[in-house]
Structure formats: C-alpha cells, structure tokens
Amino acid sequence: MSILSILHYPDPVLLTVGKPVADDEFNEELQTLVSDMFETMERASGVGLAAPQIGVSKRLFVMDVPVEDGTRERHVLVNPEIVRVEGEQTGDEGCLSFPGLYQVVQREMRVIARARNIEGKEFELDVADLAARCILHETDHCDGIVFLDRMTPLKRQLAKRKIKTLQKTGKWN
Ligand SMILES: [Zn+2]
C-alpha cells in the first residue's frame, strides 16, 4: 500500500466534475486505489477522502466515521448519489484539501445515499449526523464542489482570508 499525496485548494482537479467509474473499471486497479485512499486518509486523520483529492478525477470516495454507539461507518462509495435528505445540522467542518481550516457549514441531518461498492454492487446507506455530513461533503468533491462553496458569503470571505495567510506563512503547501 502507498500513501498518496493530497491536493490542496485551489488545485484545478478539486474544481472539476469527476467521471463516473465505468463497469469495466471494477478491477484490481480500483481495489488498490481504494486501499491506498484508506491508508492515506487514516495517515492524515481524516474521516473521508474523495478521489479528486488525490488527483484522480473520478466519482468515488472512502469514509471512516466514528458513530455514537462506538461502531464506525466505514465504506467505499463508488458513483455516489444522494437519494433523499432530511433536517438540518450546523457544525464545524474541515477538509484534508484545506489543511488547518475549520469553518461552520450547514448540512442536512440525515442522508439516504445510493452507490456501488468495490465489487460494483449497488447498495443504499441511511445515515445521520457526522456520517451524513461526510457523505454530503465527499459527494460534493465528486461534483467538483468544495466546502468553501457551501459556506455563507461572510464565512467564505473569512475562510479565503485565512487561506491567504496560511499560504503566505508556507503552512498550506
Ligand atoms: Zn474535503
């Protein structure tokens, strides 16, 4: 397994809509990519990592979210789709492509998502709280959307100012 390097905003791959994973791409290469993504995410102490974040412009992500009852929501979602959302949550959000930046983002509280697993089999997930936030955040990555786009204009302005400061002090790259 290998640790992949994580792209930082504003790398153009992060702002590009990912290509769906085709039927003939559910192979060993995809399995290696997913293993490397899990490894990379864990090393970076993240709860989610999407393919565009490691420079692969495809629609897939991995997640490993601790859930209240002590279990974890550990999944691979290939070609994810949001089927239904419910409610609202407001909380701090971070992103491995925005090192050191945390900002309040409003998201839906509950998400039903449909995706394919590593074998190409379709499945549905019904999750809430942090797992829901994670799925929405990572599906956005597959669409070339970053969490900056989900902030209120004021918070976005603050975030952009902070990014500039971090870039100047060399803490961004
Ligand atoms: Zn992210």
Gap between the Cα atoms of 42 and 165, Å rounded: 27
Gap between the Cα atoms of 15 and 90, Å rounded: 24
Residue 141 alpha carbon to ligand 1 centre in Å: 7
49 closest CA partner among 75, 29, 19: 75
Residue 128 alpha carbon to ligand 1 centre in Å: 18
What residues act catalytically?
A: 138
Q: What DSSP element (H or E) covers 7?
A: none
Single pTM value for the model: 0.96
Gap between the Cα atoms of 54 and 37, Å rounded: 8
Gap between the Cα atoms of 166 and 129, Å rounded: 30
| Tens-binned pLDDT, residue by residue, of the chain (173 aa) | 799 999 999 999 999 999 999 999 999 999 999 999 999 999 999 999 999 999 999 999 999 998 888 889 899 999 999 999 999 999 999 999 999 899 999 999 999 999 999 999 999 999 999 999 999 999 999 999 999 999 999 999 999 999 999 989 887 87
Q: Which residues surround ligand 1, an ion (CB under 5 A)?
A: 95
